Amino acid sequence: MSEVVLNAEPRATGKKAAKAVRKNGMINGVYYSTGSAAIPIAVHPISMRPIVYTADAKIVKLNISGASYDCVLKDISFDPVTDKIVHFDLFGVDANALIEVEIPVTLHGLAVGVREGGVLEHIMHKVRVSCLPKDLPEHIEVDVANLAIAHSIHLSDISIPNVTLIGKPDMVVATVVAPRTEETAAAGAEAPALVAQKGKKPE
């Protein structure tokens, strides 16, 4: 698990204070942990890029006024119009306590079913895991090389040392579906024509 450093400034609470932070081009955030009071913080937008715009999960080394905290990104909000980050939550982690985090799922290899003309469908892009911070994987790489047409890889097929995957065992991670035949394509093309004929007004 890689680590990224985030330098933050303490900020005041309240709507006016939050508005002032945004006016200064900063992002409002909160750091909290079990048994401790939440710490309102403000960070520069550029410093959030390695944490948010990445395909990997990361431990965040948060620096506030000389103090340092290990944490993970717990929640984030975006502006619906500009898609800019407007708020985020960081949750402190204990090196000896289990944490639950969503980890990206990536697929590796060229599936046998794809070589035979099938189509690979990536169903599960993230999975929630439980583990110690030191065992937290950046992502989960699933080998699909042996995946044939009409076959699937389920959550129960994935095993990572010291990491528990959270979810139903039969949840599909990836599957290869059969190619669309000419007969199926023709049937799909004829269907709208039949509907149009049924709805046609008499002349």
At 186, give phi and psi (nearest 5°): -65, -40
pTM: 0.74
At 83, give phi and psi (nearest 5°): 65, 15
- Give the pLDDT score at 194: 47
**Among residues 58, 68, 75, 64, which one has the least CA distance to residue 40?**
64
Q: Tens digits of per-residue pLDDT, 103-153?
A: 999 999 999 999 999 999 999 999 999 999 999 999 999 999 999 999 999
The answer on pLDDT for 202 being more than 70 is no
**Among residues 76, 96, 95, which one has the least CA distance to residue 86?**
76
Question: For the chain, how many residues are written?
Answer: 203
Residue ranges of domains in the chain: 3-93, 101-181
In order, the DSSP letters of 155-177 are GGG--BTTBEEES-TT-EEEEEE
Kindly report the CATH number that applies to the domain delimited by 101-181: 2.170.120.20
Q: In the CATH hierarchy, which fold is given to the domain comprising 3-93?
A: Ribosomal Protein L25; Chain P (2.40.240)
